[in-house]
Chains A and B, each alone.
Chain A
Amino acid sequence: MSDQAHVRTERDLAPGEEEQHSVGARILGYVVGLVLALLLTATSFFIAGTDLVWQPSIPVALIVLAIAQMGVHLVFFLHITTGPDNTNNVLALAFGLLVVFLVVGGTVWIMAHLNANMPPMDQIMPMRR
């Protein structure tokens, strides 16, 4: 039976839990996250109030910066990684994001079309009489 390899399955990591690091390394992770998040926040506020960039690009830039900052928070504060011990946490997050995009994207899409294709309210009300 000596040809049978023994594979020990590793424990998963709980959400928010880090792999074994020293205290200094863990604090450094939070400091890096804080600096990145502050930089992204400052950029967002700067972009929103400036005339330096092409105006129609501002909403897209703000959304991209917000998503980037959420990513920074997930990686450095919530310690979501792509490691095999994090698969369950990432899958739950992916499903949550799917529902969020369905709700927000679907609502904005449908309501914009309704808004464009229906007459204003003051024209609807006489029709109902």
Chain B
Amino acid sequence: MSMTATAGRAHADPHHIGLVIEHPGPAPKRIVTAYGFWVFLLSDIVMFSCFFAAYAVLVGQTAGGPKGSEIFDQRNVAIETVCLLLSSFTCGMASIAADVRNRFWFYLGMAVTCGLGVVFLAIEFREFADLVSRGYGPSRSAFLTAFFSLVGCHGLHVSAGVLWLLTMMAQVFAKGFRADVLRRMMCFALFWHALDIVWVGVFSVVYLLGSGV
């Protein structure tokens, strides 16, 4: 009795340990997609760490130009930080709404996220324009080069995130909560939360620690 039955089971239990593991096959597409995007985000964070390292090395090299404490405005940075933090929260609300297929709360959450992202970008752009107009552009000193490349790189990521956000709203409007649209929404939420994590490093290292140098 057991011979034929065991032969049939041999594939499921190759080492005869008495446990039959039913292999579920390849993971579903949403897990594969999100995991691939997670690995991309981690490599993006590794790229940011190079900019952080450059900033840490060059923060004292002001070449007679302004120091961090002379050009940073803590109040602006605090407003930017609160904007990004709240937008991370509303982005989470929008992804919950997308999971339960609620269009109203999805559009509302995404619209608030977009608004907060735009306010963040406006404050940052005004800060950059103000610095350049005072002659403190990225070519003034090694410190300012490192500052503009690190903070500007994060700003470019936020700009790309806002464009992606608007694309997601348009896709939900045109196609509804299809499986592929929900996968993209999941990747967008990961991207937006990761940007907020990078910003925690930026405001701590660049603005708060940089003011003490």
Residues of A within 8 A of B (CB): 1, 3-9, 11-17, 23, 26-27, 30-31, 33-34, 37-38, 41, 44-45, 48-49, 58-59, 62-63, 65-66, 69-70, 73-74, 77-78, 88-89, 92-93, 95-96, 99-100, 103-104, 107-108, 111
Apart from A44-B203, A62-B208, A73-B196, what 14 extra A-B contacts exist at CB < 8 Å? Answer: A4-B19, A6-B20, A16-B190, A30-B96, A34-B86, A41-B85, A45-B208, A63-B204, A70-B200, A74-B197, A78-B190, A92-B42, A96-B42, A96-B46
Point out the residues of chain B lying under 8 angstroms from A3, CB to CB: 18
The B interface is mostly helix, strand or loop, or mixed, namely: helix
Q: Which of B51-59, B112-120, B168-176 contacts A (4 or more CB under 8 A)?
A: B51-59
For the complex, what is the distance from the CA of A28 to the CA of B74, rounded to whole Å?
31
- Flag if B20 contacts A7 (CB, 8 Å): yes
A/B interface sample: 30 pairs, CB < 8 A: A1-B9, A4-B9, A5-B20, A6-B22, A7-B21, A8-B22, A15-B37, A16-B193, A17-B31, A17-B186, A23-B96, A27-B96, A30-B93, A31-B89, A34-B85, A34-B88, A41-B85, A45-B78, A48-B74, A48-B208, A48-B212, A62-B204, A66-B205, A70-B200, A73-B193, A73-B200, A96-B46, A100-B49, A103-B50, A107-B56
For the complex, what is the distance from the CA of A26 to the CA of B22, rounded to whole Å?
31
Point out the residues of chain B lying under 8 angstroms from A89, CB to CB: 35, 38
The A interface is mostly helix, strand or loop, or mixed, namely: helix
Residues of B within 8 A of A (CB): 2, 5-6, 9, 13, 18-24, 27-28, 30-31, 33-35, 37-39, 42-43, 45-46, 49-50, 52-54, 56-57, 74, 78, 81-82, 85-86, 88-89, 92-93, 96, 100, 186, 189-190, 193-194, 196-197, 200-201, 203-205, 208-209, 211-212
- Flag if A5 contacts B18 (CB, 8 Å): yes
- Flag if B211 contacts A96 (CB, 8 Å): no
B58 nearest CB neighbor, chain A only: A111
